[in-house]
Homo-oligomer: A and B are copies of this chain.
Amino acid sequence: MPTITNTCIRLISRAVGLPDASVWKVCTQPLPALEDSQFLVRVHYISIDPAMRGWMNEGSTYIQGVQLGDVMRAFAAGEVIDSKNPAFPIGTYVTGLLGVQTYACSDGQNVERVPASSPNELPRYLGVLGMPGMTAYWGLLDKGCPRAGETVLVSGAAGTVGSLVGQIAKLHGCTVIGIAGGTKKCDYLRHTLGFDAALDYTQGSLSARIRSAAPQGVNIYFDNVGGDVLDAALENLARGARVVICGAISQYNNTTPDGKPAPPQGPTNYMKIVTARGQMNGIIVFDYFHRTQEFRSHMQRWIAEGKITLHEHILEGIESFPHALTMLFRGENIGKILVRVTSPSVPSA
């Protein structure tokens, strides 16, 4: 192999609020030679996920934060172009925590082979068949436990996880209400995804409109956003409701008046869980990686039958990563945001 230059994006300072360009540094450097059991991946697509905002913070929650100076953590998908690992021969398509970079050297840890037949098929392994798909699938089915006839309310409903939760809930015979920001997203939920109702949280009293859409109350609330939307949902729980906390994207960029990072707004209506005889728990997708095949076989069947779809919003070039991330936090996307890495192909050795 000729020497390859890797372009990567490193986290160089902690963000306060919405991450701006100053926290990133684009670096290029030649890749070192592979060691035994390593392989080299040419990255084709980088996944933009809400969880990234937590990874940018100091300390650890369910996973250690990215160290300052390190390549930003990201799920990505690509193709093995050189290998000293027989389990990952040249030509293998892979996904995993490959980072925000054009080439990733891996020993196979946190990396998985995927049965794609061309790079164009890779985005789905970062979306509907990947981590967000698993989050939606297991969060709804294993934590929410939907039963036919129940009402499922999901926030961030036009986002990747939210749009999949709603579609999977429909497939289980539930009435599905989505919460999203703006007419365009709400139209998409109703007319493209077939949600029973879509509520625009930017318009008037959300709690009253949930009550109107779910007069018998909400049996499952799947929360991707936190904040006031969570409180409005809690006001409308049916008896025995399950509240599944997946994320709190409206709260990740909170700052104090003097410009320091601030914790999320706590749900003042948390006692409604008690009076509804409900429960709240959450979904950490890493706990379900050992059940990937089980998930994927269901999801692939639904995709093949045309019952599940996921809109993809693709930005070109690794340099678009910082913008892609702010788009996500500003809610400017429908469905899955990805960055397509457009490095020139490496000539064969």
Contact = CB atoms under 8 A, between A and B. Distances in A.
Given A279-B279, A279-B280, A269 B274 contact: no
Contacts of A270: 245, 264, 266-267, 270, 280
Interface string A282-320: 111001000000000000000000000000000000000
Contacts of A279: 279-281
Interface in A247-293: 248, 263-271, 273-275, 277-284, 287
Given A266-B266, A266-B268, A275-B284, 13 more contacts: A61-B275, A263-B269, A264-B271, A265-B266, A265-B268, A267-B267, A270-B270, A274-B281, A274-B283, A277-B282, A278-B281, A279-B280, A279-B281
A196 interface: no
A282 B287 contact: no
Contact of A282 (B264, B265, B274): B274
A270 B61 CA distance: 13
A231 interface: yes
A304 to B, nearest CB: 32
Nearest to A245: B274
A112 to B, nearest CB: 22
Given A265-B266, A266-B231, A271 B277 contact: no
Interface residues of A, number: 28
Contacts of A287: 277
Contact of A267 (B246, B266, B274, B283): B266
A266 B228 CA distance: 11
22 contacts: A61-B271, A248-B271, A263-B268, A264-B270, A264-B271, A265-B266, A266-B266, A266-B267, A266-B268, A267-B267, A267-B270, A270-B270, A271-B282, A273-B282, A274-B284, A275-B282, A275-B284, A277-B284, A277-B287, A278-B282, A279-B280, A280-B281
Contacts of A265: 266, 268
B245 A271 contact: yes
Contacts of A273: 245, 280-282
A119 to B, nearest CB: 34
Contact of A269 (B266, B282, B284): B266
A30 B207 CA distance: 47
A287 B239 CA distance: 12
A12 B226 CA distance: 38
A155 to B, nearest CB: 15
A169 B267 CA distance: 29
Contacts of A269: 263, 266
A124 B273 CA distance: 30
Contacts of A268: 263-266
